[in-house]
A and B are shown apart, each in its own frame.
Chain A
Amino acid sequence: MTRSVIELRPDASDIRVARFATAAIVLSLAEAAIPLPLPGVKPGLGNIVVLIVLWRWGWRDAAWVALLRVFAASLLLGQFLAPGFFLGLSGALASLCALGAAMHLPRRWFGPVTASLLAAFAHIGAQLVVARLWLVPHDGVFALAPIFALAALVFGLINGLVAARMLAELEACGAPS
């Protein structure tokens, strides 16, 4: 009998993704404890982590962190494969597309705030579409669109500012990229 050992050697990128995904998951869990007036209106604190990873290490790592966060946080909260999970997953995928586009904008003019706002609007857009097609097959869900959009505006701005601030501090203390 041959002994076969499969050895997985995590490289620097794997460790980084794991570390940041953990931070994002913790923020998602903390956020789940905040009472909110409407299902779906959330600050999305985990997106701060995704933004930082995107800005410093690129889209691939950011996608890993965002998707790991969606899966792990939903497993921990008992929401895995529940409607909320699919809404979150569709929102995460849409905001990753938006972030992919946003990171190609000239950085001199567009900072993390733009990326955060675009991601937030893509997030609620995708969630509304999925909710309309699947959960509430009636145009009535769109009556919530202005509330979701306002939340995306406010939280997108705040998350973007926090991410920009943390990126500036990371740069100031010369963290290796």
Chain B
Amino acid sequence: MRLAARDWLALIRPGDYLVLLLAAVLVGLLGRHFWRGGEADRAEIRAAGKLFATVPLSAPQVITVPGPLGLTKIEVDIGRARVASDPGPRQYCVRQGWLSTAGAVAICAPNEVTLALLARQPAYDSLGY
């Protein structure tokens, strides 16, 4: 015996919809809570190996970091950051573009500036067995 979708819906009682909704909300909350590990929330900027600044990724701003070759400009945006300009010859760190995952690093070696994104819980950048 085949049932139309309407007949199946008739089997669900009013309270069942409420429970179904609550269950769906629970699934969403669990997903948000347990799968946010990869989301960065702050940027750590180092110059010549020393901590220069730690900025939250909550408001856009531009930070200028001095180095041996000149000034490195780091642009922070909501949830992401990048090296906007750097005096280094090959521009590797600039060409990496926006970083948004925890553990991502841009290194401007000639000017001795690094930009690293961190999360609430530190993420592994490698695993060994």
Contacts and interface: CB of A to CB of B under 8 A. Distances in A.
Given A145-B34, A146-B34, A111 B12 contact: yes
- Interface SS, B side: helix
A164 B23 CA distance: 19
A110 interface: yes
Interface in B1-47: 3, 8, 11-16, 19-20, 23-24, 26-27, 30-31, 34-35, 37
A130 interface: no
A48 to B, nearest CB: 13
Interface residues of A, number: 27
B64 to A, nearest CB: 39
Interface string A138-155: 000011011001101100
A109 B12 contact: no
- Highest count of chain A CB atoms <10 Å: which of B12, B14, B37: B12
Interface stretch (A11-19, A81-89, A114-122): A114-122
Nearest to A139: B34
Contact of B15 (A105, A153, A157, A160): A105
Interface of A: 105-106, 108-114, 117-118, 121, 142-143, 145-146, 149-150, 152-153, 156-157, 160-161, 164-165, 168
